[in-house]
Structure 1
Amino acid sequence: MTRQEKMQGKMGKDRIIFALDTDDIDKAIGWVRKLTGHVGGFKIGFELQQTMLVSLLVAPTWIAASRYLVKVRELYHLLNGQIFWDCKLDDIPKTVAGASKAVARLEALMFNFHCSAGKASIKSAVENKGNLLALGVTVLTTTKNQDCVSIFGSGAILKVLQFVGYLRDAGADGVICSAQEALAIRAKPEFNELIIVAPGIRPAVKNAEDGVKQDDQERVLTPGEAIRAGIDFPVIGRPISEASDPVAAADVIAAEIDETLELMAAA
C-alpha cells in the first residue's frame, strides 16, 4: 500500500495523535473518553507503559492488582485500536525481533524503534511488525544540533537523512523526526513513500514576543506548517491537555490542518 493510499480520506482530526503523557491510569482513561472523535490516535509512551506494568507487579494484594488490571483493560478497549505504541525499541536484533513480535499482538496503529540500534535491528522490527506501521525514531526532538554533532558526528538533518535511508532500505513504513527535518526528507523523491510522524508541533500563540511555544522541544512547527512540510501525523500533547478547553483546542488544530490540506490540494 502506498503512502497516498494509507492517508486517503484522512481529515485533520484523523491525523492528530494525542500524547497520553501521564502516569495516572484514571487520567489516561479520562483523556481518551474526552478526545475520542476529536483526534485520530493516542500515543502511549514509556511513562504510562511502565506505570501500568509496575503497578500490576507491585500491587499490595491480588485484589488491588485485579482492580488495576480492570482499568488497564478499560483503557485498552476505549482506545479501540487507535494506539501509537511509543516503545522506542533499541537493542540487538534478536531482542528487537522478539519485542516487535509481542507488540504486534496489540490492536494498534503503529509502534517505533530507534534507528541508532542499527540496520539489522531495524530489519528485525520491520519483519516482525504484523499489521502495525513500523516507524523509526531518528534524532529526538529535544536534541540540540550541537548535541547531535557530539553524539552522532554530524548535524541533525544529515543524520536524519542517513537514518531515513536505513528505513527505506529495510522496508519500514515511516519515520519519526522533528517537524523541521520533514522538509529535507520530502525533498528526496526516494523517501516520498515514508509516512512522517512528528512530535514538537505547537500552535502559534497570540503573544508575538513568544512566537511558537516550545515547552521542552527543539525544532518545532505549527500544525499548518507541519502539514505543509509533509508531516502526515503530528503528535500533540500539552497544547491540548493544558488548554482551558482541550476539546476545543483539538478542534482548532484539526481545522487548521484541514484548511492547510485544502489550500495544498487547490495549489
Structure 2
Amino acid sequence: MNNHFTTHSFRVASTDVDFQDKMFYHALLSIIQEAASSSAQSMGCGSDFMDANSACWLLLKMSVRMKSLPAWGEQLRVETWSRGKERLYFYRDFRIFNEQNSTIGVATSTWIVADKETHRPIKPDFLNDFIDKYSREEKAVTTKISPLPKPDTLDSDSPGNEITKHADYSELDRNLHVNNTRYIAWSFDALHYEFLTSYDILSMDVQFFSEIRFGEKVTIKAFNNGVEHLVFGNIADGRTAFVCKLFNGNLECSDDRSDEAR
C-alpha cells in the first residue's frame, strides 16, 4: 500500500455469475465491500481496531458506474482509497480494472462510524489520524449523481412489481443485520425477469435508511419509468430500509492511469 491507494485482486467464481455467465451485481458489490474492508485493515482502522473500540463501519450510500459486467473466470483488480471525511461522514472511492488493465467501473461510497452494539452514530474523532495520513481527494465518479427520491414521495397505488423477502440467517453479516449486498440482490429480484434477461444493468445508486434485523419481513417494490428502475424496500413496521436506482447508462471512462498520474 502507498499512502493513499490499496489494490486487491479477485477472480469471478461460478457462483458469482448468472445464466449468461455475467457477474451478479450483488457479487460485484461484495468484492467492492471486501476491498474496502481490506483497505481499512491496511490503514489500521479495520475490523480488529474497530472491535477494540466498540465501533463498526456502516454503509450509507453507494453509486457504481460500469462500462461492462465481468464474466465468469475473469481476473479483476479493485483499487480503492479513502477520500477523507466531513463531520460524521467518511468517503471511499473505487476503480475496477479487467485483465487487460482497462478501467471497467468506478464507484463512490459514504460511511459512518457507529456503536457496535446499538448501531447509533458516534463521534469518529479517534479515526482522525488514519484519515489525515491516508486520504486523497481524487474522485472516481466525476459525473453528477442525482439525489434519490425520498421514501415519502412513493405513491403506494402506483403500478409496480412487488415481492416479499424475509431476513433469514443466511442474509445476516457480522453486524447482525442484513448485509447491504442482499438489498441489491433483492432489488434485482423485484425487476421483471424479461427485462433482466434482455438488458444489462450497468449503473446503480443506493441509499440505506434502516437496518433489517433477523426475522423481519420486507416488501420490495420496483417501478420502471422507461429509463430507470426505482426500488423501495419497506420493513413491515413501516420503516423504509432503502431506496435504489438501477439503470442502463454505462460508464464513460478512460483506461488505467499510469503510476505517474497518481
TM-score of the superposition, structure 1-length normalised? 0.26
Q: Greater helix percent: which structure? A: 1
Q: Greater strand percent: which structure? A: 2
